Structure formats: structure tokens, C-alpha cells
Structure 1
């Protein structure tokens, strides 16, 4: 079994402060023998920015923030996944990007959010560009991982595509906005993605007093809850048993029973 750490954190608008916070959480995760740590959406810079200069704080995948996170990955020999606002050719808009670093400090993959949160009086597309491709699952010490960001969770075809592409663990770093019924929806959708695809599904939600609820949670392939965060900053853990995935998919072979002839 492999352990994944879920860092339910609050970010500031100062990326250097967030590097220091990352170091503290990575050190704790190392002490607990985790092989990977996930930070939430908007980890590099908090969004929305009270100073209204969020897009101006964007960096490239080769910028100072990513370089500093690479050094932490190499120092602690830890796979790290984190959110950032990535520069684009349009100075008024960023990509909402997740970065994956391996335990050698190498950037092995990234994903630009494809479904933007234009709902509940939010309009993410005002300062964010859509990614134009889904994430391709990659092999890690904790299994083959897939990746979506926050609002992507509401689109089940994204998780199914990644499951069909080999994902054993689906990760959803998020900044799930507080509101009536929002935790019920978050919990229900995460559990549904796990059960219908018979894979691990881990949610990592940003926490802040102003906007985001925390309450990160994750589920095993049979829908059993693995962890549940509170409305605060904390470090949570999920144990990944890859044999359980195979056992469940053998007992209930949904991918074999799926009517491929009826779908494009």
C-alpha cells in the first residue's frame, strides 16, 4: 500500500510565503512516509485577489515558483502536485494549471483546466483561458494517476476517459466554493466518480474563511470514505491499495460489460 498526502491549505497572494508553507507540509508528509503530496487549486496565488492583480502574478512553468517546488521535491524525494496561474500570451488571462513533479524534482506533466467555473455568480473565464486537452494518466509510485481540477468534477466523461486510459487514482485538486448544499454535491460527485469507475478518487480542497470550504474527502473504488477534512488547514492521508482496484474490477467488470458499440 502507498500513502498519498492531501494538503488542505490556505494560500496567500505572495508566492514565496506559499513556498514556505509547502515546505512545512512536505516535511510532515515525508515523516509519515507518504510518496506523494497534493496541494489545491490556486496554490501559487490565492484567487480572487483582493488587490485585483492576480493575472499579473502569473508565472511560466519555468518560473521561480516551479523551480522552488522542484527543489523541494528533490530535497524531500517526494512527488508533488500543485496548482498555479500560468502565463499565457494574453496578459489579461492565465491558465489554471496543475503541475506534477517527480521525486527527482523533474516536471513530468501538467494540466490546464478545461471546464471553467462560470456558475453561481462566478465567471472564471473573465481571467482564465480554457485548456484544450484532457490529462493523459501517468505512472507514479502510488499507481497510475488521472487529474481534473475542481469544476471538472461535474463532468463525468472526463473521469471515464481517464479511467479508460488506465487511471487507477483520480485526483481533484479544487477550490470548492462554500454555499448551501455544496459539501453534499462535492461528496456525492467524488464518491460517484469512484464507484462508477472502480478507482480511487481523492479530493483536495483549498480552505479559506472568505471563499473555500476545505472539507477535503476521498473514496476507495467501492465508495468507502478514506478521509474527511474539517473547515481548517490540515494534512490528510489516503492509503492506496492497487490490489483492491483489481479485485473490485474483477468482481464487477463494468469496463468489460460496457456497451462500446453504443458509444462513440
Structure 2
């Protein structure tokens, strides 16, 4: 492609133990491996330095959180600088006494903190009791401007919301990244598993198409407590085509070349941003449009 700008995007899919230091050591090793294999951007999964903490409402789990900067974020800063790669992830942030967030950090190739985003959409479902732990983000849908591209980094539940993807894109994101911790409740897998996985992937492929961007979602893998994480980390291009999908059971580093010049080609053929009726979307900020409040011309 004329004028191509290819960046190699790596997604790290891994298991996590109860040993926080071991998890960070493993992640740093994976960053080094991805860099050695040519990666420019390395994205880790959601709260990669611990097992997923929200399967129960347990005050002891707040001890897993860290201030920023803190031990984990400093290791990532060092890894980014040492290997000359962009590193992004999510960690359990302790902001102050009694105030915690699920926070995405992005470090540029020189170790500079290029992106800071606090998870906006907080779920509350069986084994996903995140409202007990995380305060909704107050950063807005920020962009990380890095040497290798402009990144919009949401976190897990954010990946279901077209409004969030659109706002990242409108701020200039070329790649949307969603560090993820999603899996099956094993006794529900036979009945709902295939549909759940398909919906998850389809929602993000739709973001890629509707916004003309690349999308990457690194998910954890393995069994933790009552959840079987389904892995299947993937990268989709601006046409929504899945360029690589990882194993559903094994650890893996996904490395995919992404030609950012493709954004202009796709957006000029499917000019969704051009044709948006920005004058007619005021009601999008309402929780619901009740019939009684509707008006007719």
C-alpha cells in the first residue's frame, strides 16, 4: 500500500497465579519476547498482575491495589524504555483511602507515561462484582499519543459500548485496545458459551468497522475460582476482519502487522465519519427516550 505505516501490535495472553510478583515477572518477560520478535506496541490483559479479584465482595482484595506510580507501573515503565516498545495494560489502582479504579496505563518507547485512562463502565454480574471495587472513571475517553500511533485504550466492559469506541475515534485513535478478563461460568458454557464468545468478538469487530480503526483485545486464559477465561485474544482490521485469533486454552503472544495507512483508504470508501448527523444526536445522552417525552413533527 502506497505510503504505508506498518506497526506490529502484540497482545499478551497469559495465565495468572496468586503470586503478584511472579505475574509481573512473567508479563515483563513476555514484553521482552514480543519486542525481540519485532513488536512495536505490546498490550497486556486486564489486571494482569493478579488473579481476577472481583469474583466475590471481599475487602481483603483491596490489598491487591497499588498507587500510580507504584511497583507494577514502574516495572512497565522500565520495560518500555529498555526494549523501545509501547506498553499498555490495566491495573487495580489505589487512588486514595477508599477510592479505587481499574486504570489503563500506556508507556511510550522512552518510558514516558503517554496515556492514562480510568475504566468508565463498571459491571455487576455473577462473579464480576466490580462495582464493589471500582469507582467509575473520571478521565473521559483519553488518547495515548505514542511513537507508533494514537491509541484509545478502554478496559473490558468498555468494549461493549459503541459510544466509547466512537469517542476514542473522534479524538484521533488509530488503534482501539481493550485489556480484558472475560470468561465462562463453566456450568453455563454448554448452553451459552458459543453465543457469549461470538457476541464479545462481534461487538468489537463492529467498532473497527464503524470507526475505521484497528481493534485489539488481549484476554486472560485459564481457570481462576469459578471462571474459565476463554482467551481467544484477537486483532481486527478496519474492515472488521480478524487477522489473528489466539487459542482459547493456551498462553500466547499474538503479533500482527497493522498498516495505519489503511484507515484513510477504508474511511474514504465507507465515510461514516463524514456522514454522521451530529446535529441530530442530542438524545444520545438520555438514559432512555420514553414514549411520553417523544414529539412528532
Distance 1:70 1:88 in 2: 19
The answer as to 2:204 corresponding to 1:190 is yes
* Paired position in structure 1 for 2:230: 213
5+ long unaligned stretches in structure 1: none
The answer as to 2:46 corresponding to 1:41 is yes
* Paired position in structure 1 for 2:214: 200
Q: Is the 8 A contact 1:190 1:218 kept in 2?
A: no
Structure-2-length-normalised TM-score: 0.83
* Paired position in structure 1 for 2:148: 142
Cα RMSD between the aligned structures? 1.8
Change (3 A) 1:22 1:202: same
5+ long unaligned stretches in structure 2: 1-5, 283-297
2:87 to 74, 80, 103: 80
Structure-1-length-normalised TM-score: 0.93
Distance 1:160 1:31 in 2: 33
After the TM superposition, which residues 1-264 of structure 1 pair with which residues of structure 2 at under 5 Å, given as runs?
A: 1-48=6-53, 52=58, 53-91=60-98, 94-120=100-126, 122-178=128-184, 179=189, 180=193, 181-210=195-224, 211=227, 212-230=229-247, 231-264=249-282
Offset at 1:108?
2.0
**Larger Cα-atom Rg:** 2
Distance 1:104 1:141 in 2: 9
Distance 2:144 2:90 in 1: 17
Question: How many residues are aligned here?
Answer: 263
Change (3 A) 1:50 1:174: closer
Distance 1:194 1:69 in 2: 27
